[in-house]
Structures are given as C-alpha cells and as structure tokens.
Amino acid sequence: MTREEVLATLKKQKIRFLRLQFTDILGINKNVEVPENQFEKALDGQVMFDGSSIEGFVRIEESDMLLVPDLETFRVLPWVEDRGQVARLICDVYTTEGEAFPGDPRQALKRVVGEANQLGFTMVAGPELEFFLFHKDQAGNPATITHDAGGYFDLTPLDKGEECRRAIVNALEAMHFEIEAAHHEVAPAQHEIDFKYADAITTADNIMTYRFVTRKIANDFGLHATFMPKPLQGVNGSGMHTHQSLFRGDQNAFFDPHEEYQLSEICKHYIGGLLRHAKGFCAITNPLVNSYKRLVPGYEAPTNITWSEKNRSPLVRIPARRGIGTRCELRMPDPSCNPYLALAVMLKSGLDGIAHKIDPGPPVNKNIFQLTVREKRKYKIEELPGSLFDAVQQLRKDRVVAAALGEHILEHYAAAKLATWHEYTTAVHPWEIERYLDRY
C-alpha cells in the first residue's frame, strides 16, 4: 500500500487509533499508539519513543528512537474497541540521524535476507506454533488449570478450547492470514494453528501477529494462551517446527530430481550449516530457562544433532513432498523465541553451510530416541546444550551466529539471558522444599 492508500483507508474505516508496533530483542511485542491527528506524522516515520525503556535498546544518554512503518503490514484489528477502531503498522527502528538501529531484531533479519538475496536466494519459511489454552484462577490470573483431556487431532471438545481456537482462526483470517489447518495437539489443552509459508520477514511479522491475536482472543474467552515451551510436567511441550527452503525465482533450489533423495547439493549443504551451528543458535531458538525442560528425551522434542529424510526424531527432518514443496524442517525452535532473530540465525547458518559446502553426513533413518550411547557415537551424533547457560556459552563462541545478530544484539541478548540464568539458579524452587525440607 502507498501512504495515500493507507490514509484513505484510515479515514474510510473511521480508525481512531494507530498502533506502531515493534519488537525488543527478547521477542516481546511493543507499541506506541497515536490518535488520528498524528496519522500523517506516523506514516512519515516521525513518531519518536524512548529507547532507554526497552530491553536491549540503548543507553539513557542516547535514548531517542524513531519508528518507521512498513506500509505493507497495515491491518485493521478485527475486533471492536470501546473508544474507537484501531489499526496497526509494524515498524523498523531508526536513530534520529536516520540510520537503521543495530539493536532492531527486524532489521537484523533484513540484513541476513539481503545477504541471501545477493546470492540469488529467497528464504521461504513456514512455522508450526503450538500453544496451550488454560483457564484462569479465581483471582483471574493465568494458571495451568484445564478440563481438556483431548489428544492429537481429537474431535470431541471437552471444554471451550475448540470454540476459542475457531475464533482465533477467524481473527487471523480477518488480518489476511491464509490458515491451512487448526487442530488439538498431543498434550491436554495444547493446540496448533498452521498458516501458509511466506518469505522470512513476512513470516516473522506473522508470528508476532499470531501470538498477539491468540492471546487476545483467548482472554476474550476467559482463557489464557501461553507459548511457554513446557508449562506442564509429564506431557509434551510446545514447539515451533520451522519448515524452510531457498528459492531462485520460481524454482526451489532444494530440489534436484537427479540427486539422492531428490535433494540438491544446496539443500544438503544448507542442512549441514544448520547442524554445524545448532549449538550456537540454540540460545536464540530456545531462549528460556524453561525451553530446556522441553528439550529432553521422551517427549518428541529433538535433542540429537543429525538429520533424516524419513522420521521425526532428529533435529532436521525432510518432509515427503518434492518439487516446489521440497524443504527441511528444523524441529528444535520453540514458540517463545524472537522470530526475527531465530530466522536470521537459521538462514545465516544455512548460507554458511552452502558457502563452505558443509557435509551433513548420511541421514539417520532410525528412531534416535531408542539408540544407545554407543550407537550414537557410531553415527557421530552430538546433542544440543542442556541448559540456557550452556546455550549462551555456545552462542558466544559461534562467529557465524554472532555475525547474524550483530555485536549490539549479541551482547545485550547474552547479558539478559545470563542474568535470567543467575536469577533462576539462586531461587529456591518448590521441588527443593518438597524434597529436602523435612529430610535435612
């Protein structure tokens, strides 16, 4: 859309407020909302905000930032507000000197996408975000209460989760999403809504919108939607399996009908890059202390760094489709990640694999969850970091992943995660009280 088309739509639909949305380095939605008398100023990228108040942005003495909207992201929010209709624009963050701010995650992804474009590639990504729908407690606070006893693809709704899921689909479609499927997942109260793949930047924007809309609609139903990776002990956690491929124009660069498995050398090297750098980008794709309680054996989450063209136990899987649908699926990310940074490090790692012709090795088409330690050594299968602390150490050592983030984001992100880890390790948890209080 052009500036004039956006202004005309704002006027025609009697929009009262415009949200200028952006994302901090931790992947949290932020916004500055302006009334209608500021719409033209907003569309011209002249709305300023205090960057010193946002996680990982700038020091107090250099805090003023500008929000420059991407007009293609203009959407009218598909629900009625009491004090006037609201629309939104997703923005890039710039300094007051007109330069791209190095701490802006969206522009970090744009930089890596630009590198791929210079090589003739366009990344296409399709994520599968799982989430839980819980009831709230008597005080109205989020809880892990559920009356849902459903399982994978179950039809009969046992509480109001299915009705809420349909309302989420309706809201997303009103915001121009093409929804491909919606279903109950493996764990009680766990759901998944799949939307169509797109280029990397659009996909990251869609993930941020998806999470926001899901939580908003759930709240309307008196429920709480959470993208926390492992909210319940003893059941599967929530993942964000990310399907990805590279295109050259209309041609899928991952497909070669004459190669083994019909996978091109580009595809195999891309997979090699993902495997080579998986330890290094794990702190980005799996960013919480809680993320590593999902990445444990026994609950379908991958912990083994290898690939397969047949089964779902390795880190990277090749779905059955070929031709234009040829792709690899990275199964480690979870839906709490910052999607701009996650897609940036995945793409950068794959491009490094292509540049250095990294061999992923032969596929392991066995159930890796059932392999012994000796068998894993035979196949040279390594494992992902076991904690957020270990993942941050690996992040700091990986130059390719660091280059994808840039120095500013890397330092602020690592510092924030290590502070979280310190807070976690010094806290006394209920498990410790139950286990030790009456024994020692």
∠383-386-388 over CA atoms, to 5°?
130
**Distance between CA atoms of residues 409 and 37, nearest Å:** 35
Q: Are 188 and 282 contained in the same domain?
A: yes
pLDDT digits (tens, 9 = 90+) for 252-283: 999 999 998 999 999 999 999 999 999 999 99
Residue 60 counted as domain residue: yes
Q: What is the mean pLDDT of the chain?
A: 91
Of 101, 122, 141, the one marking the end of a domain is 101
Of 49, 78, 101, the one marking the end of a domain is 101
Q: Are 63 and 145 contained in the same domain?
A: no
Q: Are 134 and 280 contained in the same domain?
A: yes
Residue 437 counted as domain residue: no
Q: Are 97 and 120 contained in the same domain?
A: no
Say what the pLDDT of residue 154 is. 52
In this prediction, residues 105-126 reach a mean pLDDT of 98
Question: Domain with 19 in it: what CATH number?
Answer: 3.10.20.70
- Sequence letter at residue 366: K
Report, as residue numbers or ranges, the catalytic residues.
50, 128, 130, 185, 192, 241, 312, 329, 331
Query: Using DSSP, how many helices (H) and how many strands (E) does the chain show?
Result: 13, 19
Residue 244 counted as domain residue: yes
Assigned token pair, 417:
């995660």
Q: Are 211 and 322 contained in the same domain?
A: yes
Tell me the C-alpha to C-alpha distance, in Å, between residue 416 and each of 62, 152, 349: 20, 36, 23
Residue 106 counted as domain residue: no
Q: Are 132 and 208 contained in the same domain?
A: yes
Task: Band the pLDDT of 159: cuts 50, 70, 90.
Answer: low
Counting the structural domains of the chain, the total is 2
Task: Band the pLDDT of 157: cuts 50, 70, 90.
Answer: low
Residue 440 counted as domain residue: no
Of 81, 101, 121, the one marking the end of a domain is 101
Question: Domain with 385 in it: what CATH number?
Answer: 3.30.590.10
**Distance between CA atoms of residues 414 and 419, nearest Å:** 9
Q: Are 311 and 341 contained in the same domain?
A: yes
Residue 72: domain span: 3-101
Residue 138 counted as domain residue: yes
Say what the pLDDT of residue 281 is. 98
Tell me the C-alpha to C-alpha distance, in Å, between residue 411 and each of 284, 348, 407: 13, 18, 6
**Distance between CA atoms of residues 252 and 238, nearest Å:** 29
pLDDT digits (tens, 9 = 90+) for 405-422: 999 999 999 999 999 999
Q: Are 118 and 262 contained in the same domain?
A: yes
Assigned token pair, 281:
């980008």
In this prediction, residues 58-71 reach a mean pLDDT of 79
> How many Å separate Cα 270 from the centre of its chain?
20
Q: Are 200 and 234 contained in the same domain?
A: yes
**Backbone Cα Rg of the chain:** 22
